[in-house]
Structure 1
Amino acid sequence: MIVSVVRTISLVLLSISGALLFAGAAKAIEVITGSSNSMNYQVSLVAQDLSVPWGVTFISPNQLLITQRHGEAVIIDTAGNNRTQVKGLPNVAAAGQGGLLDVVTEPGYQLPNGWLYFTYSKMLGDQAVTVLARSKLDQDTLTQWQELLVTNSATTSYRHFGSRIAFDQQGHLFFSVGDRGERPNGQDLTTHAGCILRLNMDGTVPADNPFVSTPDVLPEIWSYGHRNPQGLAFDLRNNRLWAIEHGPRGGDEINLIVKGSNYGWPVTSHGKEYWGPLSVGEATEKEGIVSPHKVYIPSIAPGSLLHYTGDAFPGWQGDLFAGALKLEHINRLSLNKDGDIISEERLVSPLKERIRALIQSPEGWIYFTTDSGNLYLISPER
């Protein structure tokens, strides 16, 4: 990839600091350009001054609803001109890695009757859990709030909540829960921690889930042996679910999620212990455990996952995009027809931003958020 910085980024951000905060900003402002797979693109700054913008979804063709981890949400138009505070959110356990997390509109979503799905952490006594809920949006207010699943994942830790949401558009919802900082949870099927779960859209359990008839196993579990999956993406064309998860020190993984499968944590891992050069688990591979499609060493610290299907960038169709927190880039992965990862590219590195959430727009552009509080847009270069 050839990247040209069209102006010194720090000076650009300084000069427009505050200009995009509220109504009155004219338009998104270009900050860098680049080339990928023979396509030229530009990256524009749309909005600033968000607080760890964790999840983002389109509620109309030109409006984004963005969750902020501390427990608030805003609606921002795609020009960055207007910002509206969202009312009606629940109290969340905003500590450590917890808080208000993902938000996704249901397939075919339309205001005001469509459902918005959320994940977040909340307190149960002195412990925190990951929760899946849904609500409807009436102008700027969330109504008909429903907790669909308060997961069995309570610990006093504020680590590894997950949690991303994906739909198969066949009436099912997937969402991820991290191991909650307790490694044995990954292999314990009496807890939702360390699992990817599958539900019907109303929160009930599908009859064809893999462990519905298995005694002493939670029926919502679709796959297990996960450490902290913070990216989920469903490939509708090929009917397959992808996940990306944090390893310990090294060993982030991209996995193709198969019904009822064990992904190994903490029995298998490609990462190292934090206190020394010791491997985690028994091995990197083991019979009966699904091996990852890709391992990142060193860790990129993945924050999201997108399966791109848009027409704006034909050379990216079918690719996976992961937001990298620690290594501060968007990780683009090309797949062959069998789903094998055949190449990797690192985009937007000059921004030096921790990339959190990614979403594809109706035009096929890509919006992304950063932990510094910015909302950016990748679009074809004018």
Structure 2
Amino acid sequence: MKKIHIPFLFSVILMGLISACSSSDDDTDDLDNGTEQTISAVEAFPSLTFTSPVDIKQSPDASNRFFVVEQQGLIKVFENAAGTSASSNFLDIRSKVTSSGETGLLGLAFHPDFATNGFFYVNYTRANPLQTVIARYKATTPSANTVDISSETILLTYNQPFSNHNGGSLEFGKDGHLYIASGDGGSSGDPQNNAQNKKSYLGKILRIDVNSTSKGNYGIPADNPFTGNTDGSLEEIYAYGLRNPWKISFDTGSDRFFAADVGQNVKEEINLITKGGNYGWKIKEGKDCYNPSSNCDATGLIEPVIDYGRSDGDVSITGGYVYRGETIKGLVGKYIYGDFVSGRIWALEVDGNQVKSNALLMKFGGAISTFGQDSKGEVYFANYRAGKIMKLAVE
């Protein structure tokens, strides 16, 4: 198989173009799905093309609409149907967003009561100074296909010392709170030690109450791990010790909270996030010591459920979703994730904190920038370079 050159956006953008190697034998299992199904990836919306897609969401209403986030600052909306031939600009905030490398409009989440209040939330970067912005917008009606940018309410901002490692994911939990994935602030090796600093928003999973105004335009959930502390730890912090969590998600069938964390030079990792957990960066990268490189003190650190190296061209993990659809029986309950550079996609089965299997599903010939899940539990992913939305299917 010939090598394909892929712009490596989310982990080492400053290194320029990287050649993704073809897959080789590794320690992953074959998929035993108990059926004769052959899993493939098909274009979900053949007539639609997007520019630099970085998030895919379906709103929690009965409209059957899909929303694709474009990094430059656009959110496109369209009907979730294979024959869809046109999309609309749902939100256009290109005038607000700074977008290059790893900056841009990076995340979208709909309020659980979107069908009645029209609220949705975005995560984007802006310049002068470089900051992450968590903002709420309101559709004039929940069924509207265009949103006025003057409806913006900024909930939270925090400065970014460097342009990379911005995280960007937004997800609502079943508790109704908004979870925010933030990277360590960038550069290399977390030079400011942000991920371990509980007085910094960076390198964290944050959790806020969007239905409260106790801190201005949001509140602090009463059971956040550092609520009411006296040592200066930020009350918004839910978990910490992360490098660049590129996509978080909740399993709709079990409430498990997954975070895929992009590694430094050696390991990519998947974590099961728990309240107050310290996931090790920059003391550890994956399950290995990083700083110091050996004999590091791992006391109190939570190891990833799984990590993987880079010998097969895997360089930048992209987190996904636990499959809860009906089309591919053998994937039900398995966490689907991929690698931005190699294009490989796996199905991970976890029992508690133990890996039961990690099956390689396919080697896709494109840059996997994000996954998505529809209301029926089917799983999609975006081809960043080609601007296409793909769907896991059976032949």
Normalised to the residue count of structure 1, the TM-score between the two structures is 0.81
Distance 1:108 1:339, change over 3 A: farther
- Structure 2 residue 249 is matched with structure 1 residue 233: yes
Counterpart amino acid of residue 99 in structure 1: G
Counterpart residue number, 1:291: 303
Are the equivalent residues in 2 in contact too, given 1:304–1:356 (CA < 8 A)?
no
Counterpart residue number, 2:199: 190
Tell which has more relative contact order, 1 or 2 (C-alpha 8 A, sep 6+). Answer: 2
Q: Which runs of 5 or more structure 2 residues have no equivalent in the other structure?
A: 5-30, 212-217
Helix, strand or coil at the partner of 1:141: coil
C-alpha distance in structure 2 between counterparts of 1:185 and 1:343, whole Å: 33
Q: Output aligned runs, 1:8-23, within 5 Å.
A: none
Normalised to the residue count of structure 2, the TM-score between the two structures is 0.78
Alignment partner for residue 341 of structure 1, among 355, 361, 382?
A: 355
Distance 1:61 1:353, change over 3 A: farther
Displacement of 1:226 in angstroms is 0.5
Counterpart residue number, 1:360: 373
- Structure 2 residue 389 is matched with structure 1 residue 375: yes
Q: Output aligned runs, 1:75-90, within 5 Å.
A: 75-77=77-79, 78-79=81-82, 80-89=84-93
Distance 1:297 1:280, change over 3 A: farther
Displacement of 1:201 in angstroms is 2.8
Helix, strand or coil at the partner of 1:367: strand
Q: Deviations over 1:192-212 (max 9, x none)?
A: 000110111333111111111
Q: Deviations over 1:245-281 (max 9, x none)?
A: 0011121111111211211111122499xxxxx9554
Are the equivalent residues in 2 in contact too, given 1:129–1:161 (CA < 8 A)?
no
C-alpha distance in structure 1 between counterparts of 2:251 and 2:316, whole Å: 22
State percent identity of aligned pairs: 26
C-alpha distance in structure 2 between counterparts of 1:68 and 1:52, whole Å: 5
Deviates more, 1:167-176 or 1:233-242: 233-242
Are the equivalent residues in 1 in contact too, given 2:135–2:154 (CA < 8 A)?
yes
Alignment partner for residue 150 of structure 1, among 148, 153, 157?
A: 157
Alignment partner for residue 97 of structure 2, among 89, 92, 95?
A: 92
Are the equivalent residues in 2 in contact too, given 1:312–1:364 (CA < 8 A)?
no
C-alpha distance in structure 2 between counterparts of 1:171 and 1:365, whole Å: 23
Helix, strand or coil at the partner of 1:315: helix
C-alpha distance in structure 1 between counterparts of 2:41 and 2:320, whole Å: 19
**Greater strand share, structure number:** 1
Pairwise CA RMSD: 2.6
Alignment partner for residue 116 of structure 1, among 102, 120, 127?
A: 120
Helix, strand or coil at the partner of 1:295: strand
Helix, strand or coil at the partner of 1:335: strand
Q: Output aligned runs, 1:290-329, within 5 Å.
A: 290-298=302-310, 299-329=314-344
Q: Deviations over 1:301-334 (max 9, x none)?
A: 1223212222232322221111310111222111
For these two proteins, the number of residue pairs brought into alignment is 337
Displacement of 1:36 in angstroms is 6.5
Deviates more, 1:301-310 or 1:37-46: 37-46
